[in-house]
């Protein structure tokens, strides 16, 4: 259509499409070619992406990357010590190994805090900061409980989910929680046990 009061504007800004609705008309301004290409390419990419990451065996997930990096990290951290013993002396001496206690704290937060709270104060799981224990009399019992679980699985077994070294340093970490003050400690359960023995002198096995 032509004529009418819009022609002046139309003349300013290029061709006008040939439809008109209630007196409103439109410039013929198609999106540029490069824009259409980007649009089309992003659709193609999204299909390839979805197939590659969600439907093929070649894709990977952030969990895979994390697991790979964690394994590499543990190899590096534990590489020098090999397989730690699981006895009292080893567990006690790991309590004063700051690097391993950092690893153990992260492992605790990731796997144990859901039931025991980040600070060990207890929730579903028991308070690990007080002097009372249900399944523990000696420091090596911490390793046993972590390995085999307790109360018919209410405390799960970590034997297949954490390496022996991880369980040793976790036992040491849990031992070190004793005597700390959690934000909201659960009421003591079990019975009061003797203090941990002193750690052996460094180098002693």
Q: How far is the CB of 115 from ligand HEC (least distance, A)?
A: 3
Give 10 or 115: the residue with its C-beta nearer to ligand HEC. 115
Six-digit token string for 172: 């040491």
Question: Exposed, middle or buried by CB within 10 Å (0-12, 13-18, 19+), for 172?
Answer: buried
Please write down the long-range contacts of 42-48, taking CB distance under 8 Å and 24 or more positions apart. none
Q: How far is the CB of 121 from ligand HEC (least distance, A)?
A: 13
Q: Taken in order 98, 102, 103, 104, is the CA torsion positive or negative?
A: positive
What residues make contact with ligand HEC under the rule CB under 6 A? 108, 111-112, 114-116, 124-126, 133-136, 142, 145-146, 150-151, 154-156, 158, 170, 174, 190
Give 89 or 157: the residue with its C-beta nearer to ligand HEC. 157
Give 95 or 174: the residue with its C-beta nearer to ligand HEC. 174
**25: which strand partners?**
20
Give 77 or 188: the residue with its C-beta nearer to ligand HEC. 188
Q: How far is the CB of 181 from ligand HEC (least distance, A)?
A: 17
Q: What is d(CA 2, CA 184) in angstroms, rounded to the nearest whole number?
A: 80
Q: How far is the CB of 117 from ligand HEC (least distance, A)?
A: 11
DSSP 98-134: HHHHHHHHHHHHHHTHHHH-TTS--SSSPPSSSSEES
């Amino acid at each position: 259509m032509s004529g009418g009061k819009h022609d002046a504007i139309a003349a300013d800004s290029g061709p006008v499409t040939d439809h008109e609705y209630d007196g409103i008309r439109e410039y013929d301004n198609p999106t540029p070619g490069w824009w259409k290409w980007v649009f089309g390419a992003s659709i193609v990419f999204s299909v390839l992406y979805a197939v590659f990451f969600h439907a093929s065996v070649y894709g990977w997930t952030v969990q895979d990357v994390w697991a790979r990096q964690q394994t590499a990290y543990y190899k590096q951290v534990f590489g020098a010590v090999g397989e730690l013993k699981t006895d009292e002396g080893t567990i006690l001496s790991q309590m004063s190994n700051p690097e391993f206690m950092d690893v153990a704290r992260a492992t605790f937060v990731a796997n144990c805090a859901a039931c025991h709270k980040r600070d060990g104060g207890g929730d579903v799981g028991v308070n690990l900061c007080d002097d009372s224990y249900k399944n523990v009399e000696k420091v090596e019992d911490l390793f046993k409980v972590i390995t085999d679980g307790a109360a018919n699985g209410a405390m799960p077994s970590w034997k297949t989910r954490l390496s022996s070294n991880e369980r040793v340093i976790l036992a040491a970490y849990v031992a070190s929680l004793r005597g700390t003050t959690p934000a909201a400690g659960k009421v003591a359960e079990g019975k009061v046990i003797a203090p941990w023995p002193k750690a052996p002198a460094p180098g002693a096995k």
